[in-house]
Structure 1
Amino acid sequence: MKIPAWLQENMGIRIMSLILAVFLWSYVTGGGETERSFVARVETTHLPDGLLVSGTPVERVELRLAGPRLLLTKISAAGQLTIPLNLTGVQEGVVTFAALDTKLPLPAGVRVTRIYPSTVELHLVRNDGMMTPSARGER
């Protein structure tokens, strides 16, 4: 099959134009910045022996994340987001965790624009073995 002469003219420019068009299309559809809502699970770790979480602690946090559309799609596809709260060295009483967005493992380029609630309070009590189910955090 013979390629027409008009199509052979400026072949380099045509190829460069096609490459540029594909790059622009992929940037606009997949690489643009966007914002999406997510829900993150709050997970406590390293609770000292002899202490229990009293009452009903916050289990989920609502988030708005902004960043490249492709990264937000990957976060969504990966499943549940988790905010770990390290309880190492805490004592009986009320423990408040603020700046939850800094505890959330996110890829570079993704940022938290909104988080609700912005703080989590945990009421810790001694486990004396005689507590009611509600004081142990059971439902």
Structure 2
Amino acid sequence: MRSNWQQLLLAFVLAVFCWYLVTGREKVDSWVPMRVEMTGMPDGLFIKGGMLGSVDVLLRGPRGMVRTIEEAPLVYPLNLSRITPGKNVIGLDPASIPISKVFDVVEVRPSRIELDVERRISRDVPIKPVLGAAVPEGYVLAGTRIRPETARVTGAEKEVNALENIRTDAISFGAAPGAVWEDRVSLDVPEGLEAAPLSAVVTLHFSPRQGEATVRVPVRVFPPERAEATPKTVSLRIKGPVQLLNDKSFEDSVEARIDLKPGLEVGRHEMPYQVKMPQGCELVEARPDRVTVTVK
């Protein structure tokens, strides 16, 4: 019994060994994904398009070994030390694949890649504020200040050189801004470019919109019991904020007056008059500029 058991075990081992020899030497083909890893990239260049993350490789080798390599992560080292700005066609050489000599590389798909390479530069570009709404009615934008005035933009040479300015995000300052509005605003950086800094402090100065209006007001003499003026009314052209000029009560807030000096002789006198107006207004023209005052 003991001799038969040993013979049976020996026969089993020989059978397994023969099976391994037969199946292990049988070669099969298998497509295996392989990650592409870039090496030797020159400074100042970058790949704008055409780069692949992985390629498919057709391997031929022993059936048992193929199963093990399908489970292992494979890497294709792509040497980019000779690329130049523009179109670069690079062939994928099967001999460059780091793999055991037990396997034969039958095919690499794709067999070549076309890389669009550009030079990478940096340039200072002016920052331009963008208003998110129209200036409120009755106001004008009197001045704009940006800190800093420029941003350092980095990216493809063509795109950076074609950039005249870099805009801010739309600025929202409300329906009734004060005389000064200030806030930090983010920059709207074009896709594919980098900028530093990514925001700027924008200061906007608003002032009332100016206009002109002509009003006719009476000439008032003080004290009124001593004299009277001829003509009794004068025409005044006044410059000031539009909102104030359009107010219905504006004409009532304008005054033309003469203050008589003590001891003024009885009779007729040609005299100028003073015009009193709301703050922020300016007298452009007065007709007539002098009136006749008759002292009683």
TM-score for the superposition, normalised by structure 2: 0.38
Pair 1:69 & 2:90 matched: no
Pair 1:100 & 2:111 matched: no
In 2: Cα distance, 1:76 partner to 1:92 partner: 37
Task: Give secondary structure in 2 for the equivalent of 1:109.
Answer: coil
Higher strand share: 2
In 1: Cα distance, 2:2 partner to 2:37 partner: 66
Of 45, 48, 59, 1:51 maps to: 45
For CA contacts below 8 A with separation 6 or more, give which structure has more relative contact order.
Answer: 1
Q: Which residue of 2 aligns with 1:23?
A: 17
Instruction: Work out the number of aligned pairs and report it.
Output: 128
In 2: Cα distance, 1:135 partner to 1:118 partner: 31
**C-alpha spacing 1:52/1:135, structure 2 compared with 1 (3 Å):** farther
Pair 1:84 & 2:77 matched: yes
Unpaired segments ≥5 residues, structure 2 = 122-153, 157-189, 195-296
1:73-121 superposed Cα distances (whole Å, 9 cap, x missing partner): 2212222x21111122432222222143122111012012222110112
Structure having the higher Rg: 2
Shift in Å at residue 125 of structure 1? 0.7
Asked if structure 1 preserves the Cα contact closer than 8 Å seen for 2:28 and 2:61, the reply is: yes
Higher helix share: 1
Shift in Å at residue 19 of structure 1? 4.5
Pair 1:37 & 2:31 matched: yes
Identity of aligned residues (%): 29
**C-alpha spacing 1:96/1:106, structure 2 compared with 1 (3 Å):** same
Give the residue type in structure 1 aligned to 2:38: T
Give the residue type in structure 2 aligned to 1:69: R
Unpaired segments ≥5 residues, structure 1 = none
- 50-59 or 15-24, which deviates more: 15-24
In 2: Cα distance, 1:48 partner to 1:72 partner: 36
Asked if structure 2 preserves the Cα contact closer than 8 Å seen for 1:41 and 1:83, the reply is: yes
Q: Which residue of 2 aligns with 1:110?
A: 103
Q: Which residue of 2 aligns with 1:123?
A: 116
1:18-50 superposed Cα distances (whole Å, 9 cap, x missing partner): 554222112234442111111112221121110
Q: Give the alignment's Cα RMSD to 1 decimal.
A: 2.8
TM-score for the superposition, normalised by structure 1: 0.74
